[in-house]
Structure formats: C-alpha cells, structure tokens
Amino acid sequence: MSEIRYSEEHEWISVDGDVGTIGITDYAQQQLGDVVFVELPEIGRKVAKGGEAAIVESVKAASEVYAPVSGEVIEVNAALPDNPALVNEDAAGKGWFMKIRLADKSELAKLMDAAAYQKFVEGLH
C-alpha cells in the first residue's frame, strides 16, 4: 500500500516502492482557485527537495510546485496541459503532476502524515 506524505508548501507525495507520485493538496487548489495552466518538468530532469519542479497558474496567481523530495522525473501527467482543471476536480487523484524515482527515501521522514498536515492547515486560519 502506498503511503501519502505532505509538505508545508502543500504538495503531496504518494510513494510506491522507489517511485513517488507528486501533486498539490486540495487545500492548495482551493487557495489558487480555477487552475488555467500547468507547466510540467521534462522527463529525466533531476529535482531537489524543496526545489521548483512545476508551475501552476490560476485565475488568481501563478505558483511554483516544489519537489517534496529529491529524485528524477520519470513520468508527467500528460492530461494536465490540455485539461488543467483536473487539478481542481481531483487534486489528490487525477490531478497529479509528476512521478519521480526517489533519490533518498529518508527525506520522506521529514514530511507530514495526513493528521499532521490537517493540523498544519488548521493552524493557517
């Protein structure tokens, strides 16, 4: 079973073996509003923990999507450029951004589990 972890920048990562699927949280997409454009990284690109990995633009703002862990991009969600609204419709599912091969699984320990992330978001209000 995959484990989902969360960053303070509102990204989620679902890990299965040494591959992590990354997206933005439902909270993040609500804050952005209607997503109108997504720029995804190139396959083969190395991303660093906390580094910019993608860009998401909404009617309100443009925002970076940061890599919650380090790794190499092995797949991107080809549906997003043509249908960026998937991020709003299903941020934690069909609206995923990229899959990376993890460089260092120990980085996952620094991310929050669902309960900790929920508490973190509640503290923002």
pLDDT tens readout for residues 36-83: 999 999 999 999 999 999 999 999 999 999 999 999 999 999 999 999
pLDDT tens readout for residues 105-116: 999 999 999 999
Longest dimension (CA), the chain: 38
Alpha-carbon gap, residue 22 to 14, rounded angstroms:
7
Q: What is the pLDDT of residue 56?
A: 97
Query: Hey, where are the domains in the chain?
Result: 3-106
pLDDT tens readout for residues 17-33: 999 999 999 999 999 99
Architecture of the domain delimited by 3-106: Beta Barrel (2.40)
Q: What is the pLDDT of residue 3?
A: 80
| Rg, Å, the chain Cα set | 13
